């Protein structure tokens, strides 16, 4: 299989390199094996890409290490790194429509979401960290008698980065931008279901002028390529976004190899509607809470707690809105809900729907797999609402990662805080109320890394993002991400102190 192939994405035909991207070159995987990528709206294979395994990871890490040690790279002016990140953002803007089309083809997302959110937010992330590149500074101290001390922030080294399939392009930029801004080198692995936008980005990376070896991409499976990054003895840090189960295995691999630094972004979600909320707006945000990427969002608002005084009205209006979803091929702009990302994901969601049914929850709406509106065969699931749910049900405790909400009633503020915090997850939570004192009180009491008041599912690259409890370790986005990609070095100078 040649590296460069043509791929049809909607009405565009795009040239795409499909081998491993190492040292600014396309290299065939050592084992020469390949794997297929599906269009989730049709279930049909659209392209084969090269399968990187442990030996390819090793080559990529050696390349990244060589670049990291290169004095020319070490001494690169941070303003030049900033300019390269800006240049990459410019190239993404120039190739906006290709990126939208590839992301739609790979993930099943709507045109509206990719063009309003995924691609612009990815560009915004690059520009934001371009701004940080020459502002990563240390502190100085004359506070200790007869001593002068300063700190400097040095890059960590070779960063291994493992990303999921639900936001392939955005996660790619969340990972590479702060790492490169701080002067690290990167070996990133895309998710096996969604490597296309990352592959496309690598050609832009060359054009933007990234030094060879600074960003390297492996396309392959988690069990070998991903695991090889996590256990590699010469990777200094792993940044992972994905499931809690995989997150645990990455921590174990880091612990039993070289104790590399680990940051984890995992899952979790809940949304609370108080009786004084502007119900119409709360419903629109709650719909977005589940319709964004059709529930395949780590902070999807799948557990909705509604105060008993407004429960009936909320349920009626919310159901009417969910019924308006038009499910079908995501390249048809009239459709508002596309397919789930893969067969595996689709079957997993249907399994959760079955468990809700057998645990005794009421299927208030949907609850089935369906064909798309146009009869297409992809991985479509009806927008689904469960009511009469209890805290111990699997659909309340685990991530469904599909267009499925469970709506429960509550009586008091204290009770709903207990209910919302009764989870091992702590990524995000929403509160809908006009009472701002209550908003501050409840957001303070919620065990979550991101909380929203009168909105839901809004994340900006300039604000830290990450989870409490089993939803993760560390924060991405904002200034906080720079801590993940730098080591602080303290330097003491003796200014007249005698040895004790």
Please answer whether residues 144 and 497 qualify as being in contact, where contact means their C-beta atoms are separated by less than 8 angstroms: no
Taking the alpha carbons at both ends of the chain, their separation in whole angstroms is: 69
Please answer whether residues 108 and 339 qualify as being in contact, where contact means their C-beta atoms are separated by less than 8 angstroms: yes
What phi, psi does 68 have (nearest 5°)? -60, -35
| Shortest spacing between CB 192 and ligand NAD, in angstroms | 5
| Shortest spacing between CB 179 and ligand NAD, in angstroms | 16
C-beta closer to ligand NAD: residue 160 or 378: 160
CA-closest candidate to residue 484, choices 265, 211, 229, 244: 265
C-beta closer to ligand NAD: residue 91 or 230: 230
Radius of gyration (Cα) for the chain, nearest Å? 24
Active site residues: 265, 298
Beta strands in 359-485 (DSSP E): 362-365, 369-370, 380-381, 384-387, 404-410, 425-426, 428-432, 450-453, 468-469, 472-473
CA-closest candidate to residue 158, choices 121, 127, 184, 197: 184
C-beta closer to ligand NAD: residue 136 or 196: 196
| Shortest spacing between CB 240 and ligand NAD, in angstroms | 7
How many CB atoms neighbour CB 324 within 10 A? 9
C-beta closer to ligand NAD: residue 165 or 379: 165
C-beta closer to ligand NAD: residue 82 or 241: 241
Residue 91 structure tokens: 């190239």
C-beta closer to ligand NAD: residue 386 or 401: 401
What phi, psi does 144 have (nearest 5°)? -85, 130
| Shortest spacing between CB 297 and ligand NAD, in angstroms | 7
CA atoms within a 13 Å half-sphere pointing along the CA-CB vector of 186: 31
What is the rounded CA–CA span in Å between residue 221 and residue 202?
Answer: 19
What is the rounded CA–CA span in Å between residue 79 and residue 77?
Answer: 5
What is the rounded CA–CA span in Å between residue 4 and residue 47?
Answer: 11
What is the rounded CA–CA span in Å between residue 384 and residue 156?
Answer: 45
| Shortest spacing between CB 77 and ligand NAD, in angstroms | 32
Residues that bind ligand NAD (CB under 6 A): 162-167, 189, 191-192, 221-223, 226-227, 230, 241-243, 246, 249-250, 265-267, 298, 399, 401, 427, 472
Residue 354 structure tokens: 């079955």
| Shortest spacing between CB 221 and ligand NAD, in angstroms | 6
């Amino acid at each position: 299989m040649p590296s460069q192939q043509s791929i049809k994405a909607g009405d565009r035909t795009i040239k795409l390199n499909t081998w491993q991207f190492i040292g600014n070159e396309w290299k065939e995987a050592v084992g020469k094996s390949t794997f297929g990528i599906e269009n989730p709206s049709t279930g049909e294979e659209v392209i084969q890409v090269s399968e990187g395994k442990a030996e390819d990871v090793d080559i990529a890490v050696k390349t990244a290490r060589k670049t990291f040690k290169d004095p020319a790279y070490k001494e690169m002016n941070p303003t030049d790194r900033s300019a390269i990140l800006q240049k990459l953002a410019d190239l993404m803007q120039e190739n906006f429509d290709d990126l939208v089309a590839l992301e739609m083809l790979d993930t099943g997302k709507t045109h509206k979401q990719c063009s309003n959110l995924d691609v612009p937010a990815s560009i915004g992330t690059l520009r934001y960290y371009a701004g940080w590149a020459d502002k990563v500074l240390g502190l100085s101290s004359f506070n200790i008698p007869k001593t002068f001390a300063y700190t400097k922030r040095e890059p960590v080294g070779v960063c291994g980065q493992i990303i999921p399939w639900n936001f392939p392009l955005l996660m790619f930029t969340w990972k590479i931008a702060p790492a490169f801004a701080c002067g690290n080198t990167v070996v990133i692995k895309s998710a096996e279901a969604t490597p296309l936008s990352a592959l496309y980005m690598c050609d832009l990376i060359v054009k933007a002028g990234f030094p060879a070896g600074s960003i390297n991409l492996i396309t392959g499976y988690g069990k070998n390529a991903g695991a090889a990054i996590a256990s590699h003895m010469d990777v200094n840090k792993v940044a992972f976004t994905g499931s809690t189960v995989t997150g645990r295995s990455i921590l174990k691999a880091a612990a039993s190899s070289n104790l590399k630094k680990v940051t984890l972004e995992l899952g979790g979600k809940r949304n609370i509607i108080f009786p004084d909320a502007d119900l119409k707006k709360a419903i629109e945000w709650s719909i977005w809470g589940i319709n964004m990427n059709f529930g395949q969002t780590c902070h999807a608002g799948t557990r909705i707690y509604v105060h008993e005084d407004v429960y009936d009205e909320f349920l009626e209006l919310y159901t009417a809105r969910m019924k308006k979803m038009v499910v079908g091929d995501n390249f048809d702009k009239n459709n508002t809900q596309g397919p789930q990302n893969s067969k595996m994901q689709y079957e997993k969601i249907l399994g959760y729907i079955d468990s809700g049914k057998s645990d005794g929850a009421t299927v208030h709406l949907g609850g089935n797999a369906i064909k798309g509106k146009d009869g297409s065969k992809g991985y479509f699931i009806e927008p689904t609402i469960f009511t009469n749910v209890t805290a111990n049900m699997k659909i309340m405790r685990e991530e469904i990662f599909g267009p499925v909400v469970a709506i429960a009633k509550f009586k008091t503020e204290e009770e709903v805080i207990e209910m919302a915090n009764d989870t091992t997850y702590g990524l995000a939570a929403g509160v809908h109320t006009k009472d701002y004192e209550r908003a501050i009180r409840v957001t303070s009491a919620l065990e979550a890394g991101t909380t929203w008041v009168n909105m839901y599912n809004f994340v900006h690259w300039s604000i830290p993002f990450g989870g409490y409890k089993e939803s993760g370790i560390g924060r991405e986005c904002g200034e906080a991400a720079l801590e993940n990609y730098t080591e602080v070095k303290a330097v003491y100078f003796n200014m007249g102190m005698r040895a004790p």
